[in-house]
Amino acid sequence: MVTTLRPPLHSRLLILLAGVIGAALLFTFATTPVAPIEQVWIGTGTVLGFLVLNRVRGRRMSVLLAVLSVAVTTRYLTWRLLDTIEYDSFWQAFFMTGLVLAEIYAGIALLLGYFQTLWPLPRRPVPLPKDPADWPKVDIYIPSYNESLDVVKPTVLAALSLDWPRDKLHVYILDDGRRPEFRAFAQACGAGYIIRPDNKGAKAGNINHATRLTDGEFIAIFDCDHIPTRAFLQVGMGWLVRDPKLAMVQTPHHFYSPDPFERNLSAGSDVPNEGLMFYGAVQPGNDLWNATFFCGSCAIIRRTALLEAGGVPTETVTEDCHLSLRMQRRGWSTAYLRMPLAAGLATERLMMHIGQRMRWARGMLQIARIENPLFCSGLSLPQRLCYFSATFYYGFAVPRVVFLTSPLAFLLLGHSVIAASPLAILAYAMPHMIHAIATASRISGSVRHSFWSEIYEVVLALWLVPVTLATLWNPRKGKFNVTDKGGVLEEGYYDWSAVWPSAVLAALLLVGVGFGVRGMLVNPSDSQEFQGYALNGAWALLCLVPVLAGIAAGRERRQRRNRARLAATLDGALVLPDGSRLPGVTRDLSLGGAAILLDEAPGLGPMTPLRVELDVGSERVSIPAMLLDTDGQEGHLRFEPADLADETLIVRAVMGRADAWVDWDQHRRDKPLRSLAEVVRSVGAAFAGVNIRALRGRPIAQRRQLAQPGRLPSRTEVIRPRAPVIGVLAALLLAGAAEAQTPP
């Protein structure tokens, strides 16, 4: 059991004193009024201080720079509230208040993000008892509803192949679709098969029904497309055996197929997956505060804790996070291992991705309304803040739309919403903007590149606004929807059903830009009107970048393979029908086949039946295959499994290796200007249909080197705080436009 030691009294007093002094300094810094020119010097000093301190590496310096960022943001927001609000009409008050509230939301999200992620817990696996007879009994649940058997089968076969005593491992398909072919498959492979008379409670109800029919001490849950590695239980179970108060161990959701943004928009750029932000940084930060969330899959749960919490909650559509909240309210702990021990399919179409995020937003807002973690009993203050941050984040849609549409208030309707001189605007807003961008780049490095959060949120915001408002009004509405996985796309197309809201917004912004140009042409260049149209027109043009990127993400690219290819370097050999062997190394693998680089390639004809042997950890597997063709010394194979035993070997070789996903978070560190240039280029490439950074062929030796597993990630790399950078820029430009209409 893990025991938390309380600091001695004198240490706690010193911490309290430092906090009081810090709060007094922050209050003084944030509220002291100065002339605009003096604020220029203050802002310049903070930026120069950042540039000097940023050269010092280390987590403590990141914390110091985050404190500096919060101080600058607090000063900016204080100035906005005290000095820039003047109501002349109802609609001006409406737009002015809306923008200020959106900026306050962004400031709170920035602060919560820093708190939640600046000091991630580098938890490592702990060993199990030496004698496997002392290992606990585990039930594996694989819920399914309408997914195809081709999607579910690899997960079941991988679960049956977990390195765990056979008499202590039971795998169950929880089939809410009640399909005969699933029952037949379960009987053939040796898995359990559980159905129920109705689908009440969706996935949560399915799991609760299964808990009444099984008796394992622990329950591991996998979404039906999340394929575990062989080591999942051996790596993940140690903490649960050691600590009897630990209710759950969560591991990352790693996706081996590209999501819609990676496939449609990144155009070959080394852009981190959208989910890496959460699983690479937020969850380790949550773990520091004993606030790890259950994410619905790739987790091990103690049955006692699950039952004590009343089962998986059915009141919300994010039953996973809701369950961890209820377990922790009852005194249970949770843990997170930042090691991908399973991999699944990402959402494959932008509209599916939007639908999934709409469900997440609805569910997190339901939790906020039904069981507000900020005020409910049983949680520590840090736990409250972590759960509140998660629910608060999903209110981003309304502030995001406010930031994107605010320039139109002036350009199309003639309403100024900030009253301040241009110099004051620059003096206060520019340091705030620089610190938000630069600090985020430092602490988010390789898990989120600059400006990509804006693209993700813009795509979702217009869809989420009605969901947000409806859920806050009536949290009991809404139902669980299954995200479709698998499938092919013979021809690319633009999914206008997914991007039409962004297209409408883009049209309005273009009209606004046109009005801005017209206003500049008809007014003298030294007039306030000219300045107003110039600033708001520039802002509208800036807002077009993420909006156009969102439209570009709707260009669904052709996807003819129904099995994703994975870069993997495994030693192996082709065994020809005459028994001769051709050694080689794989370039990539999929559940359907492989590409193998051969040391020598005699004249092999297409459609040659053979067997491929692959070194998988401590064993070598032999899989029947068909040689489709050869390209120089590279052979392209299609697996030809004869039975379930062969299919199991394929899953073990492709997905089940313990080191299959060690390079899951290997991305170059962010540079904001480079990231902005990549966003712009990606938009152009998506519209033009050109892959601007297509990989070119490399010599075999280089390919082998590139495919080797990379270093483990640094634990100082944390998630970017969710400060809407585009919104900050928007506030800056809109402020200047408002002042252009304000008499000196």
Catalytic residues: 176, 320
Dihedral of CA 528/530/531/533: which sign?
positive
Alpha carbon 527 to its chain's center: 46
Rounded Cα distance between 57 and 442, Å, is 10
Query: CB-based contacts of 489: which residues, under 8 Å, 6+ apart?
Result: 556, 557, 558, 559, 560
CB 630 within 8 A of CB 636: yes
Among candidates 553, 552, 564, 555, which has minimal Cα distance to 492?
Answer: 555
Dihedral of CA 223/224/227/232: which sign?
positive
Rounded Cα distance between 499 and 455, Å, is 12
DSSP 450: T
Helices 397-411 and 452-473: crossing angle in degrees, nearest 10, is: 100
Among candidates 301, 314, 316, 310, which has minimal Cα distance to 329?
Answer: 310
* Long-range pairs of 674-679 with CB within 8 A, sequence gap ≥ 24: 675/449, 675/450, 675/451, 675/452, 676/450, 676/451, 678/266, 678/269, 678/271, 678/449, 679/451, 679/452, 679/455, 679/545, 679/546, 679/549
CB 544 within 8 A of CB 513: yes
Strands 493-494 and 555-556: antiparallel
In three-state secondary structure terms, 494 is: strand
**Concatenated DSSP letters of 685-712:** HHHHT--TTPPPP--HHHHHHHTS--PP
Rounded Cα distance between 252 and 337, Å, is 8
CB 740 within 8 A of CB 532: yes
CB 98 within 8 A of CB 85: no
Rounded Cα distance between 497 and 189, Å, is 41
Rounded Cα distance between 407 and 206, Å, is 48
Number of CB atoms found within 10 A of residue 217's CB: 15
CB 123 within 8 A of CB 335: yes
Q: How far apart, in Å, are the Cα atoms of 274 and each of 266, 513, 720?
A: 11, 31, 12
The token pair at 396 is 């981003």
